[in-house]
Amino acid sequence: MRLRQVIKRPQTELRHENPYQLLVAVMLSAQCTDARVNQVTPALFAAFPTVEALAAAEPEDVLPYIRSVSYPNSKARHLVAAARRIRDEFGGAVPSSLKALESLPGVGPKTARVVASVAFGVAALPVDTHVYRVAHRIGLVRRARTPREVERRLKRQLPSHVWGEAHHLLILHGRYTCTARQPRCAQCVLTDLCDHYRRLQRLPAPLTGLDPRQGRYFCKRCRRYFDTPVYRTDRLEVEQVSCLNCGSLQVFDAKTGCSTRRVPDYRVR
C-alpha cells in the first residue's frame, strides 16, 4: 500500500498502556477528537487506574474528568456500567472477542473492532468517518450505504493480516491529508488513483466578468442571471443547482465566478 511510504507509524493516536485504558479512550472518542480525549485521560486514569476502581465509582464521580468531551453525561454512565459488567462477568479483564466487547454498555461494533484489533490482535477493519470517506474517494468502494457495507467490501479486497494496518492508514490519511473539507490533494500520493481528485479536476473553471447585481446565479448555457435555483439530484446522488430557465447544471455563482457543481462528500449518513 502506497500510504506506507508516507505514514511511518500506522497506529492509533489514542494514548493508552493497556486494554482497559484503550477501551475507555475509544469510548470517549465517539464524535470527539483523539487530541481532546488525550487531554482528559491522564487525570481520568490517575483517578480510576483499574477496571475495579472505575466500577466502584458513580457516573457523577467520573463526569468532572470528562466534561470537555462530547456527550459527557452519557459517556460517564456508559464507562461505569461497562466497568461493572467487566468486573462482574469477565473477572475484571477486558474481553477480547467482538461478541463480548459488544455486550458492554456503550460499546458498538466500531469500538469493539478497534479494541479487539489494537489490544488483542484480532483481525478486524473498523470503519469510522475517515475510513468511510477515503475508501469512497479513492475508489476502493463505490456507493456503499453504511460503514458495515464499506467494511465488508474492503475485507473482500484485502487479506486479513493487513486489515488492522489498513484501518490506521486510511484513518491517518483522512485525518491529515484527505480531509473532509479542502483535502490536501497537492500533498497526496494517491491522486493518480483517486476518483475524487479526477472529479475535482473536471469541475468547470471559474468565469470572469459576471455581474452579481443582475442575479445570484449565472447560467452559462442560456446566458441568464437568476436568484432562485432549482435543485436536481445527479447520477452520483448529489444535489446540484440547476438553472431556473433552462434546467442546465452549467450554473455559476455570480459573485465568485465559481461553478456551483458539487462532488460527493461521502459523509456517513
- If one looks up domain 2-176 in CATH, what number appears? 1.10.340.30
Domain boundaries, the chain: 2-176, 212-253
DSSP assignment of 51-63 equals: HHHHHTS-HHHHH
The Cα 27–Cα 108 span in angstroms is: 9
* Residue 181, number of CB atoms within 10 A of its CB: 5
* 188 annotated to a ligand binding site: yes
* Calpha distance 226→251 (Å, rounded): 10
Residue 258 annotated as part of some ligand binding site = no
Query: How confident is the prediction along the chain (269 residues), in pLDDT tens digits per residue?
Result: 689 999 999 999 999 999 999 999 999 999 999 999 999 999 999 999 999 999 999 999 999 999 999 999 999 999 999 999 999 999 999 999 999 999 999 999 999 999 999 999 999 999 999 999 999 999 999 989 899 999 999 999 999 999 999 999 999 999 999 999 999 999 999 999 999 999 999 999 999 999 999 999 999 999 999 999 999 999 888 999 999 999 999 999 999 999 999 999 888 76
Residue 178 labeled ligand binder? yes
**Residues near 134 by beta carbon (within 8 Å), at least 6 away in sequence:** 140, 170, 173, 174, 178
Question: Which of 242, 262, 136 has its CA nearest to residue 202?
Answer: 262
Rounded to two decimals, what is the model's pTM?
0.88
Catalytic residues: 110, 128
DSSP code, position 259: B
Q: Measured in whole angstroms, how far is the alpha carbon of residue 195 from the centre of its chain?
A: 18
